[in-house]
Amino acid sequence: MLRPLIAACAAVLLVAPVASAQQPQKPSQPPSAQQSPPKPPAAQPPPAATDTTRPNSMKTAGERTQAALQQAPAAKPEDVRSIASLTAALYDVISGPAGQARDWQRFRSLFYPGAKMIPVRRPKPGAAGPGISPITPDDYATWGVDFFNKHAFYEKETHREVAGYGDLVNVLSAYETREAAGGPVTSKGVNSLQLVFDGQRWWVLNIAWIDEKTAGTPVPKDFARKE
């Protein structure tokens, strides 16, 4: 089986040189006919200009505030028509017996978007965390749901001092708290309210508060003090 195959291969090898020798070779073409002249490289487009313009942070803040105003709960007109009515609504909305649900939508409607609530305390030596920790009205409402479900709380204004310019007003409002509507006073302090009028209604921009224990002195009748 292998011998005929070997013989056939030998015959092919012997004939192949003869056949190649009999065929005339074609003259080679000059290099100029085989290759076209090189083309210059195509011009590259200039790199796109990088936009180095920074976003307008004030415009972004305005758009964010406008969106928040559109989503804010509607306030009761009687709550926001004056400084006195807004202050009274703040005290009223969080006061009540234990287990009585507070009207948190009414509470939120009093605050301008971005408003802060700031309890002022002095941290105890070695205590973790700052004494002054700003929170949002939403933070307060979340905390209040559980707290007021278990605790009665009544807060009442005793006197206030108002100062301001144009549509911006600062109110120092002295308060006292009770655990029953007619019960003994459990604490006294001062709420510092920053209010603003937008041409249609009054808003709470910020609230900070401090009690007598933290202040280390009784609440005065007159809030004037030396710088």
- The pLDDT score that the predictor gives to residue 67 is 93
Prediction pTM value: 0.74
Highest mean pLDDT among 15-29, 64-78, 120-134 belongs to 64-78
Ordered structural domains, the chain, with CATH: 63-215 (3.10.450.50)
Tell whether the model's pLDDT for residue 126 goes beyond 50: yes
Average pLDDT, integer, range 21-31: 50
**3-state DSSP of the chain:** CHHHHHHHHHHHHHHHHHHHHHCCCCCCCCHHHHCCCCCCCCCCCCCCCCCCCCCCHHHHHHHHHHHHHHHCCCCCHHHCCCHHHHHHHHHHHHCECCCCCCCHHHHHHCEEEEEEEEEECCCCCCCCCCCECCECHHHHHHHHHHHHHHCCEEEEEEEEEEEEECCEEEEEEEEEEECCCCCCEEEEEEEEEEEEECCCCEEEEEEEEEEHHHHCCCCCCCCCCCC
Average pLDDT, integer, range 73-78: 96
- The pLDDT score that the predictor gives to residue 98 is 98
Top pLDDT among 3 and 67 is at: 67
